[in-house]
Amino acid sequence: MLGNFSYCNPTRLYFGKGAVENLRTELGHYGKNILLVYGGGSIKKNGIYDQVVSILKACGKNVTEDAGVMPNPTTEKLAEGIARARACKADLILAVGGGSVCDYAKAVSVSVHCDEDPWEKYFIRFEEPTCAIVPVACVLTMVGTGSEMNGGSVITNHAQKLKIGHVFGTEVFPKFSILDPTYTFTLPHYQMVSGIYDIFNHICEQYFSGTDDNTSDYLSEGLMRSLIHSSRIANKDPENYEARSNIMWTATWALNTLVAMGKDTDWEVHMLGQAVGAHTNATHGMTLAAVSMAYYRHILPYGLQKFRRFAVNVWGVREEDKSDEQIAAEGLAAMEAWMKELGLVMNLTELGVREEMIEGLVKSTLVMQTGYKVLDTDEIRAIFKESL
């Protein structure tokens, strides 16, 4: 039975080649002071920075830059961004980059006027903002997180060895986002496939929960099939516009809250992966890939019918003369083969994890309550060891 829910997504999207020109119209809705947030400088090399800044200047905006957002934004960087936003009296935070830049911009947006420690308030106590929020907008340059159309924000606290995400309400969603698939063409292969697996796992985290017949699961299966098809094309031809545009659009729908409607959802793979990220600073999608197979094989017996359905409807596994367990196992084997085909990291050793780090990873892993199996400490430890 589909659960009760309320659905709203207020983010306006502009999609396609040249979509950045819509920035001119949108900027008219905001004040003069813009905090321009971006990462390590790749947008200056590929020309996106010049495009965006020229539009900001043409619209008469005062631009303050907050550069150097790292792949796993830290509490220290968050404090720096808050100070910059306060100093320039930001009317809009414009994030130009991938999911980490968008996540970071949202964390800054709810913290500028917050009179408490934002890490404690938002990422430890998971409270909602009680202060004014500076609006956020995104120009997306890497796909994966879906952060361009949701309230998610993930921040890393290295001192506490914690990487934690908070999914804020719709008031924190970007007001608008610009998605031009050509902006993703210059991504290194490693980052492209990492983003592709992040997309896939977002869908899995929502799909592998519940036992009812619901529309969300049918949508998820279609999104997964589309992603698998397009990923194979992009893996060989990274500048194939059709494939990259489909991947970008799938990433948005994978985590803009739609397919979670009426679902419990899981998110334990993300908890395991984020623990790895907190200790190693490894690329997010690769941390997910490294722990996924061990986790899914562990919980398969508890969600057997869904894993069977996944095998048949997503991977085309033939059912004749096979047990449910055999069919489900073949589905995971097909998924593993696809992951290897893309060139994903398939174990934690490649990410710098050593056996002596396992206990620290276990302590850093948050345990979710809504998957097919609520993990205990011994199970978390076993999954990490199997993932080495």
Q: Are 140 and 99 in contact (CB under 8 A)?
A: no
Record the pTM.
0.95
Q: What is the pLDDT of residue 268?
A: 98
Q: What is the pLDDT of residue 4?
A: 85
Strands 92-97, 33-38: pairing is parallel
pLDDT tens track for 113-144: 999 999 999 999 999 999 999 999 999 999 99
Q: Are 94 and 35 in contact (CB under 8 A)?
A: yes
29: DSSP letter = T
Local confidence band at 104 (pLDDT 50, 70, 90 cut-offs): very high
- Say whether pLDDT at 261 is over 70: yes
Half-sphere exposure of 81 (CA within 13 A, CB side): 35
How large is the average pLDDT for residues 251-261? Answer: 96
Question: Chain centroid to CA 95: how far?
Answer: 15
108 SS3 class: helix
Nearest CA among 102, 117, 56, 112 for reference residue 81? 112
Q: What is the pLDDT of residue 41?
A: 84
Rounded to whole angstroms, how far apart are CA atoms 108 and 349? 34
Rounded to whole angstroms, how far apart are CA atoms 206 and 201? 9
Q: What is the pLDDT of residue 374?
A: 97
Q: Are 189 and 182 in contact (CB under 8 A)?
A: no
- Say whether pLDDT at 356 is over 90: yes
Nearest CA among 214, 225, 138 for reference residue 174? 138
pLDDT tens track for 156-199: 999 999 999 999 999 999 999 999 999 999 999 999 999 999 99
Nearest CA among 151, 111, 145 for reference residue 131? 111
Rounded to whole angstroms, how far apart are CA atoms 11 and 26? 12
Local confidence band at 1 (pLDDT 50, 70, 90 cut-offs): low
Proportion of the chain above pLDDT 70, given as a percent: 99
Instruction: Take residue 181 and report the two structure tokens written for it.
Output: 């698939």
Q: What is the pLDDT of residue 310?
A: 98
Ordered domains of the chain (ranges, CATH): 12-183 (3.40.50.1970), 189-386 (1.20.1090.10)
User: For the chain, what is the mean pLDDT?
Assistant: 96
Rounded to whole angstroms, how far apart are CA atoms 226 and 220? 10
Q: What is the pLDDT of residue 3?
A: 73
